[in-house]
A and B are shown apart, each in its own frame.
Chain A
Amino acid sequence: MNLDNLIKRCKKQKLDAQSQLYKLYKDDLFILCLKYCRNKEEAQDNLQDAFLEIFQKIKYYKGIGSFEGWMKRITINKAIDKYKSKHEINFEINDNILKDTEFTIENIEAIPLEDILFQVQNLPSQYRLVFTMYELDDYSHKEIAELLNISESTSKSNLHRAKKLLQTKIQRPIKAS
């Protein structure tokens, strides 16, 4: 069954089609959830909520733009909503203390993927969301500001702080070893 037929059947709320769609995209969306959430459990919860919303809102998908992109947006928005509802974002910080510094990690290839992911997940929620949206999913600061209800300068400073934290946390074990 091609994707168009699968979407059509999902619009008719057919369980077999919903199951197929889940199997097709579960891994990609789960990886996305892992980057936005604090741990595997939260990522799985987010994936579950995202798929339920996808199946509910699929009737509104008009076929304009990438279907995968549409699903990714729903998944990211779910994560944002979750942390918003927990009041873990929307705090403003003083931007003046920050300088436009470049951060790099030496010999990043030697660092296990799980460790990098772990450090990203362990960032404070607002930093993690800003870092992931900006660096990994190519959102602009303007878009991030709108989605997180923060100012653009806050988004920039959050990104700066996130990078600084990541550099410190990822680099430290390498240096120690």
Chain B
Amino acid sequence: MNSKNNIGTQIKSRLKHLSASPDDSVWENIEKELKKKRRKRILFFWWLSSGSLLTIALVTAIFYGYTTSKNPLQEKTNEINKSTTKKTTNENADYNKPSEKTLTSGISKEPQKPSASKKTYLLESLNNKNNSSKGTNNLVSKKNTFKNLDEINNSSSSVDNTLTLQDIKTDEEEELKHTVAEVKVKEDIKKPEELKEKQKDSTKSQDYSRWSFTPQGLLSYYGTFKSNASNNTNYNYGFLASYKMNSQFYARTGIRLLNLSQDINGLTREVTYYQFPLEIKYTPFQYKINPYAIGGFSYYSLRDSKTNSNTLDFQATVGLNAGLGAEIKLWKKTFINFESIFNYQLMPFSNKNDVKPYILNLSLGIEYRF
């Protein structure tokens, strides 16, 4: 540090005795800014989480949504058909395995006829199913099958160890006949039985209720983007009705009575709206505590308004809704719902102003499905 001239030292020593305080308005402004920043941070995280969930929901909807929107009965039928075909293929694969007989006769690549024990097993299984089946048509076709199988059995027992190429070909044809007949019988027996059982099971595990109604209690925060609002939390209530479009998407509407108030820089505003939301609810998962996303818009019908500002008059308006929620099953068809919905009001005032109000609703509802 360089040496200092006298005037600097003189002024420094004099100004040490200076005492002064800033006006109270300085802290008030600082406090306002801090609250504004905090609110922005909360909104940012809220939008971030909503946006993330909505993106996940959309991606899930694209990949899985369309497949689950098919008729469940049709799906079950398809499943059964698939499983039957699979079993048949497996059994055919077993028949194609080379046996010792084939190897000794030197024709290793030729398919083999079923062994006597395999035929016995098939007969047994068919007999079992025959006992459980009651349809007369099935019985006729099964009798024919038994006939064919007996023929095959007899022919196979007479073959013994001396097989010729002609014999094998004949056996192949018979085997093919046998397989086709067997599959047909199996399908005839299985289809109605399994379908009934699977349908029974599905009705047990899945809820086919299409409609629901939900009375709600709400904690409403009436905020603004452009300035600091205080005294802006109110309790409200509403009612929602929803329709299940498919396993993941619900359309819902209803009515909420919103008594809202806010103080902005000494100006007090009180307004009552009837809110008519029209929303889509998306439930990508089926958990016990089941999260979901909500998006849509609302029409706000003005019921009453009070303001000590001559420059602002409330009016009916529309708004955009986005939210997150979770539902928990209480009883068979009764659910409890928690939701946080952000409503941004478009043009809530009849004249131009910088106040951009929004409503943040936290709701608790009991949903009954039928």
Contact = CB atoms under 8 A, between A and B. Distances in A.
A103 B7 contact: yes
B23 interface: yes
A27 B19 contact: yes
A31 B34 contact: no
B265 interface: no
B10 A105 contact: yes
B311 interface: no
Categorize the interface residue count of chain A. Answer: 35 or more
A160 B19 CA distance: 27
A131 interface: yes
Contact of B9 (A47, A111, A135, A166): A135
Given A27-B21, A44-B26, A104-B6, A18 B34 contact: yes
Interface in A38-58: 43-44, 47-48, 51-52, 55
A117 B18 contact: yes
Contacts of A104: 5-7, 10
Nearest to B35: A15
A136 B7 contact: no
Contacts of A44: 22-23, 25-26
Nearest to B10: A108
Contacts of A108: 10-11, 14
Given A15-B31, A102-B5, A131-B8, A113 B22 contact: no
B26 A166 contact: no
A141 B18 contact: no
Contact of B8 (A18, A111, A135): A135
Contact of B20 (A22, A31, A166, A167): A31
Contacts of B34: 13, 15, 18, 52, 55
Interface string B166-199: 0000000000000000000000000000000000
Given A30-B21, A140-B2, A116 B14 contact: yes
B29 interface: yes
Interface string B202-228: 000000000000000000000000000
A19 B31 contact: yes
Given A34-B18, A141-B2, A105 B26 contact: no
A26 interface: yes
Given A19-B27, A48-B29, A105 B22 contact: no
A113 B31 contact: no
In terms of DSSP, what is the predominant structure of the interface of chain A? helix
Interface in B9-58: 9-12, 14-15, 17-23, 25-27, 29-31, 33-35, 38
B42 to A, nearest CB: 11
Interface in A6-20: 13, 15, 18-19
A51 B18 contact: no
B32 to A, nearest CB: 10
B19 to A, nearest CB: 7
A48 B23 CA distance: 11
A140 B7 CA distance: 17
B1 interface: yes
Contact of A48 (B4, B7, B26, B35): B26
A138 interface: yes
Interface in A107-129: 108-109, 111, 113, 116-117, 120
Give me the 3 closest cross-chain CB pairs, A-B, nearest first. A135-B8, A103-B7, A104-B6
Given A108-B11, A111-B14, A113-B18, 18 more contacts: A13-B38, A15-B35, A30-B21, A34-B20, A47-B26, A48-B26, A51-B30, A55-B30, A104-B5, A104-B6, A113-B15, A116-B11, A116-B15, A135-B8, A135-B9, A136-B12, A163-B7, A167-B7
Interface of A: 13, 15, 18-19, 22, 26-27, 30-31, 34-35, 43-44, 47-48, 51-52, 55, 102-105, 108-109, 111, 113, 116-117, 120, 131, 134-136, 138, 140-141, 163, 166-167
9 contacts: A18-B34, A27-B21, A30-B21, A31-B20, A103-B7, A104-B6, A120-B15, A136-B8, A166-B7
